Amino acid sequence: MAEPILAFRDVSLERGDKKILNHIDWTIQPKQNWAILGLNGAGKTTLLKMIHGDLWPTDGELEVLGGVFGHISIPELTKRIGWVSTALQDWLHPGDLVEKIVLSGKFASIGLYERYTQADLQAAKEVLSEMGGESLIGKTYAVLSQGERQLAMIARAMMAKPDLLILDEPCNGLDLFAREALLQRVAKIAQMPDSPALLFVSHYTEELMPCFQHVMLLKAGEVFAQGKRQALLTDDKLSEFYAAPIQLTHIGTDRIAVYPQ
Ligand SMILES: Nc1ncnc2c1ncn2[C@@H]1O[C@H](COP(=O)(O)OP(=O)(O)OP(=O)(O)O)[C@@H](O)[C@H]1O
């Protein structure tokens, strides 16, 4: 059997006397795309930082892209992981051209410090166009809308041809239509023949596109439930998860929205 994209084996993380993540057992198999839902403070960002090698387990074993922490080079690992989050945007240089920001993804750098060729720059423009951002070529990052910035971030992540693409609340700050466009883009990436494994973190069930067939419900640092979306995105399971009465609305045939009752 092919090696998993990642495997948490009884992983915990403590800071002082606080258990931030508690006995996490979770495996992503190749060709699976996962979504993580959890309330504020559930531990989602901490979990992602662990996958990216920014935080290490205090207990248990963590394997990512075929390497077990403690036996792999973290800088080599992070080159294989694309990361899209609005937090990352604060680090970018707003005066840079969008295509150069996309190209920087190849070198996993903020700004361009490595030598690059015109062919590299052309490849960055092609990735940007492939992601639906052709009209952004030649613009500086500073003038882009939030939706356009997120698209550029996705192109930047894809530039490195990652094996795993983490989308950490990528719809933050997007209007209804920009959000839907971004979600459709994510669904298209999932359909690409050489698509990376996708890991999508959100607070909102309506953002979980059908390409996310697997879901983890994370609650207070523990896996409340994990598995196929049909089993988890239900009225009963989600009201138990949120410990509150909810109203669940179907959107089309395969998406749902949830509101407090
Ligand atoms: N270094 C740390 N020391 C102590 N507590 C921490 C540390 N880092 C995170 N925490 C706590 O761990 C919990 C989980 O934080 P985390 O940021 O992972 O949650 P989250 O699910 O991403 O939340 P949000 O949806 O609000 O972004 C929070 O209660 C947070 O205060």
54 Cβ partners below 8 Å, 6+ apart? none
Kindly report the protein residue whose alpha carbon is nearest to atom 2 of ligand 1: 15
Kindly report the protein residue whose alpha carbon is nearest to atom 10 of ligand 1: 20
Order of strands across the sheet with 214-219?
Answer: 81-85, 164-168, 197-202, 34-37, 214-219, 222-228
Of 87, 83, 191, residue with least CA distance to 130: 191
Spacing, Cα 3 to ligand 1 middle (Å): 30
Which ligand 1 atom is the nearest neighbour of the CA of 43? 18
pLDDT in tens, 132-177: 999 999 999 999 998 999 999 999 999 999 999 999 999 998 999 9
- Tell me whether residue 27 is exposed, middle or buried, using C-beta atoms within 10 angstroms of its C-beta: 0 to 12, 13 to 18, 19 or more: middle
> In the chain, pLDDT over 90 holds for what percent of residues?
82
- Judged by average pLDDT, the poorest of 52-56, 91-95, 199-203, 236-240 is 91-95
Spacing, Cα 22 to ligand 1 middle (Å): 13
Ligand 1 mutation pick, 13, 18, 20, 169, max ligand atoms within 8 A of CB: 20
- Whether this model's pTM surpasses 0.95: no
pLDDT value, residue 148 = 92
What's the whole-number average pLDDT of the chain?
Answer: 92
pLDDT in tens, 171-214: 998 999 999 999 999 999 999 999 999 999 999 999 999 999 99
Kindly report the protein residue whose alpha carbon is nearest to atom 29 of ligand 1: 41
Spacing, Cα 42 to ligand 1 middle (Å): 7
**Using CA atoms, how far apart are residues 8 and 144, in angstroms rounded to an integer?**
38
